[in-house]
Structure 1
Amino acid sequence: MSAGTAQRERGADGLRAPLRRRRFRLLYAGQCLSRTGDFVFQVSLAGYAVTAGSPALLAYTLFGQATGTVLMLLVGGALADRFGARRVMLGADLARVLATAGVAVQVAAGGHEVWAVAACGLLLGLGDGAFEPAFTLAFTELLPKAELLAANALQSIALRTAGIAGAALGGALLAAVGAGGSLALGTAGFALALALVLVAGRWPVPDRPASGEGLLKEATGGIRYACANRWLWVSIASFGVSVALVVAPAKALLPLASADVLGGGAGTYSLLVGSQAAGALLGGLLVARLRRIPPGVLVFGGMTLVCGGFAVLAVSSAVVASVAVAVAVGAVLSAATVAWAATLQSRVPGELIGRVSSVDWLVSLGVSPLALVVVPQLLAYATATTVLLTAAVVALLVSAATVLVPDVRRLAWPLTAPAS
């Protein structure tokens, strides 16, 4: 490899490369603000529900949001593929501004109706479900393929940083200006993101010939494409298993397991969560340097290590070792998910990315609630440590087997657009 070629590859892989593009900078800045505002809103709403003795406010908002997200994901990708990422993101952000503002107004007024809160939550979820596949598509419309890994790493860093900053800011605002004011400032994050997408202006998008099908039938195109490509359906299914058996249940099982083997109660669990978040931030920073590893090996080799890490966390009785493992789990999980997003964007034809992304999101989001419902039933027969350890070992074997699937193992970072 010549020195010039190596320099170009380093430039493409570097985190700064996507930020040299004005439209991406604006979109990225908007998402930093939007994600932070989202966390401010969540923390403010939860804090208000607890202090005001209004658990129904939180419950109905979250129920409406989850319902709206799943419903919109069924067609959100098709909308993005048909109308382009920018239009759908603008509509999604507008819906989220109206929804969060509606909740803020009700809280500031000192009362709320169940139907009104649920409606705001539903509108918020519809916005979320439309935004995510459109945002995935926007990366491919704005950036060359060589910069997708770096762009997704930046997105991961923004999400982790927003989680830390938004949670702290939400608590501070709740104490300083009250629930109405803090919720309104959370809404401002979505409004600023909407404004920055408008400032970015229209960007050129590839020609996507109309299919002539109705929206619902067109939405199934992502499912048909995934089923026709073994590397894709195997990958999505494997991720679903990891989420269903480990990633989602760990939120309920790890606090109990850590209390059993580590002691220390909520403080110890909080330390593990913080360590995992710090590791996730580190993983986002480092993943762009791992492009020499084939994507299938990076993603599912990483998920194998993640599942193994959760198995260790289930039985570890040493706090220092558990903290180190939590950091590693956060870092590898972050790197694997970033690499998966870039693989999806690189390998799927441009006219189908939104719909395939919807399928991917649906599998992950669909299995999470189901897994959390099953957990209490299992705890009637076994300890949290046993359940988490068993689930982690099974998911580890599935992830390891996924690496061995030829179509997955042989994936490469493509230099040209895939054929339609």
Structure 2
Amino acid sequence: MTTTVIPPAVRPPAGPAHRDGNVLRWLGAYTASMIGDNVFYIALSWAAVRSGTPSQAGLVMAVSAVPRALLMLGGGVVADRFGPRRVVIGSDAVRCAAVLTVAALLFVAHPGLWLLALLAVVFGIVDAVFMPAVGALPARVTGRDQLARVQGMRGLAVRFANVVGAPLGGLGVALGGSATAFALAGLLIAVSVPLLISVRMRETPPAGGANTANTADAANTAPAGAEAVGPPGDPDGSPDGVPARGDASGPHARVPDAEDGAAAVPERPATAWRDLRDGLRYIRGHRVLAPLIVTIALGDLGFVGPLNVGLALLADRRGWGASGMGLVVAAFGAGAGAAALLLAWRGTLPRAGSAGAAALLGGSVAIGALAQVPGVGAAVGVALAIGLLAGLSGALCGALLQTQSDPAYLGRVTAVAGIVSLGLAPLSMPLTAAAIGWWGTGPVFAGSAVVCGLGGVVALAVRDLRRAELPR
């Protein structure tokens, strides 16, 4: 049996990403979903605290991390096989339905912690497919030369969601308790669905179209601004049940048929396990992606502990108080937002691999210095530098991850990077707290700075990553 694919229509280039209505619709959907997430976690934490002991509330907040970490590799396979937009739309629909159902139950009854724990587990399972799909979606929405700018825009959306989401969640709790806050979160997530449905997908090159040992430059054979257009009902712009032209990420890879002027070749069924192994093999053999993921892992492992639990303990030992800690956190957020704004404005930076490594090394030095400053004013300045440097490094690494990956593998690549950032890095928080109790803030922050700095050393030591550039 052969598969006949309708050639997609091609539209002219859409221009810069910040002026592209297609990208802006995607960004609006992403922002609404992220704000809803922030409101959801405020509502969940408040409901858990009101329904149980502090330790039980902490367990409810942490339980979603387990299925997310265990299932994310499989989520990357799902995103690549079925298309990231289809997966994101389905994930947001499930999350919206789950949150609104819990809100309705809380309005009429008090079911207890078991319902909150179940909701957290559902969110963790859905996040395992949602996060890789979200990471793979920008490459289907815009051209490679705009992916760095889109990465900056995405960083600004995350900062905006963090700033707006917590007060909205608090307002919902104040007005009507956890049930109202959950309802608000569900409605915000629901806003993303029609926006995502209106987003048009670009043509996806075939798997292996890029040089898997070096870069994905050859993969993007579609003209800039090309989009796949198909019959209604298929969010990826292809006939129902048929992968988009050149998309080898569906349940069956496309094969030549008589209309291609070649002899028909029987389809080779692709299993999820084979897709997963192919993705891991692709990453392992890629001269840029493999060291880049190691760089991201080391940076996150050295960064997450000190800037989360470590900062609270540092503020307590220095006598800065909650207000002082809030100023330091705000300064970090401002620095990270400035880095995202810079990338969104410039669209690219020269010598991206070297620049990201240098920013990571500078940020690691600032992390070690944060534990040595005595006053709040100096800590605010150091935190601003950490946010700027770490934010710039993170944005450049994310942009390189997008532009160096073959789009057919991007869901799996994002999943591997996500496991490191969302699965392994959070494990450093309890270890950081315990280590500070044994040795104090100075040695622990210094050790974390060394781990973070090793990421920059790896990036500088690997020639292909050091010389990696973003498209212009």
> TM-score band (shorter)?
0.7 to 0.9
Which position in structure 2 is the counterpart of 1:351? 408
Q: Deviations over 1:109-131 (max 9, x none)?
A: 34225443333212211222212
Which position in structure 2 is the counterpart of 1:4? none
Which position in structure 1 is the counterpart of 2:285? 228
Which position in structure 2 is the counterpart of 1:29? 28
Q: CA deviation at 1:398?
A: 4.1
Q: CA deviation at 1:367?
A: 1.4
**Whole-Å separation in 2 of the counterparts to 1:248 and 1:221:** 33
Tell me the TM-score normalised to structure 2 length. Answer: 0.79
Where does the alignment leave 5 or more consecutive residues of structure 1 unmatched? 1-11, 416-420
| Residue identity matched to 1:280 | A
**Pair 1:399 & 2:456 matched:** yes
Q: 1:378 to 1:130 in 2, by over 3 A?
A: same
Which position in structure 2 is the counterpart of 1:68? 67
Which position in structure 1 is the counterpart of 2:246? 207
**Pair 1:148 & 2:147 matched:** yes
Q: 1:207 to 1:61 in 2, by over 3 A?
A: farther
Q: CA deviation at 1:271?
A: 1.2
| Residue identity matched to 1:83 | F
**Pair 1:264 & 2:320 matched:** yes
**Pair 1:283 & 2:357 matched:** no
Where does the alignment leave 5 or more consecutive residues of structure 2 unmatched? 1-12, 201-234, 238-243, 254-267
What aligned pairs does 1:42-191 form with structure 2 within 5 A after superposition?
Answer: 42-51=41-50, 53=52, 55=54, 58-191=57-190
Judge conservation of contact 1:297–1:403 (CA < 8 Å) in 2.
yes
Judge conservation of contact 1:61–1:120 (CA < 8 Å) in 2.
no
**Whole-Å separation in 2 of the counterparts to 1:280 and 1:298:** 16
How many residues in Structure 1 have an aligned counterpart in Structure 2?
401
**Whole-Å separation in 2 of the counterparts to 1:362 and 1:129:** 9
**Whole-Å separation in 2 of the counterparts to 1:218 and 1:27:** 27
Q: 1:125 to 1:92 in 2, by over 3 A?
A: same
What aligned pairs does 1:341-380 form with structure 2 within 5 A after superposition?
Answer: 341-380=398-437
**Whole-Å separation in 2 of the counterparts to 1:206 and 1:136:** 21
| Residue identity matched to 1:273 | V
**Pair 1:328 & 2:385 matched:** yes
**Whole-Å separation in 1 of the counterparts to 2:166 and 2:292:** 32
| Residue identity matched to 1:221 | D
Which position in structure 2 is the counterpart of 1:3? none
**Whole-Å separation in 1 of the counterparts to 2:336 and 2:26:** 22
**Whole-Å separation in 1 of the counterparts to 2:46 and 2:313:** 23
| Residue identity matched to 1:161 | F
Q: Deviations over 1:263-305 (max 9, x none)?
A: 2222221111111112121111112427232121122221111
Q: Deviations over 1:91-123 (max 9, x none)?
A: 111221123223323433342254433332122
Which position in structure 1 is the counterpart of 2:223? none
For residue 439 of structure 2, give the secondary structure of its aligned residue in structure 1: coil
Q: Deviations over 1:219-277 (max 9, x none)?
A: 232221121123222221122122223323431112222333x4222222111111111
Judge conservation of contact 2:310–2:433 (CA < 8 Å) in 1.
no
| Residue identity matched to 1:208 | D
Q: CA deviation at 1:316?
A: 0.9
Q: 1:395 to 1:86 in 2, by over 3 A?
A: closer
**Whole-Å separation in 2 of the counterparts to 1:203 and 1:20:** 22
Which position in structure 1 is the counterpart of 2:9? none
| Residue identity matched to 2:341 | L
Q: CA deviation at 1:339?
A: 1.7
Q: 1:195 to 1:54 in 2, by over 3 A?
A: farther
| Residue identity matched to 1:342 | A
Judge conservation of contact 1:33–1:193 (CA < 8 Å) in 2.
yes
Judge conservation of contact 1:68–1:121 (CA < 8 Å) in 2.
no
Q: CA deviation at 1:361?
A: 0.5
Q: Deviations over 1:200-233 (max 9, x none)?
A: 3635455223263321331232221121123222
Q: CA deviation at 1:372?
A: 2.0
| Residue identity matched to 2:98 | A
Partner residue of 2:329 out of 273, 284, 289: 273
Q: 1:21 to 1:394 in 2, by over 3 A?
A: closer
Judge conservation of contact 2:89–2:196 (CA < 8 Å) in 1.
yes
Q: CA deviation at 1:57?
A: 6.9
Judge conservation of contact 1:246–1:392 (CA < 8 Å) in 2.
yes
Which position in structure 1 is the counterpart of 2:232? none
Judge conservation of contact 1:173–1:181 (CA < 8 Å) in 2.
yes
Judge conservation of contact 1:93–1:193 (CA < 8 Å) in 2.
yes
Tell me which protein shows more helix as a share of its residues: 1
**Whole-Å separation in 2 of the counterparts to 1:72 and 1:389:** 33
Judge conservation of contact 1:253–1:385 (CA < 8 Å) in 2.
no
For residue 316 of structure 1, give the secondary structure of its aligned residue in structure 2: coil
The 4+ residue runs of structure 1 with deviation greater than 6 A are none
Which position in structure 2 is the counterpart of 1:296? 353
Which position in structure 2 is the counterpart of 1:198? 197
**Whole-Å separation in 1 of the counterparts to 2:53 and 2:96:** 23
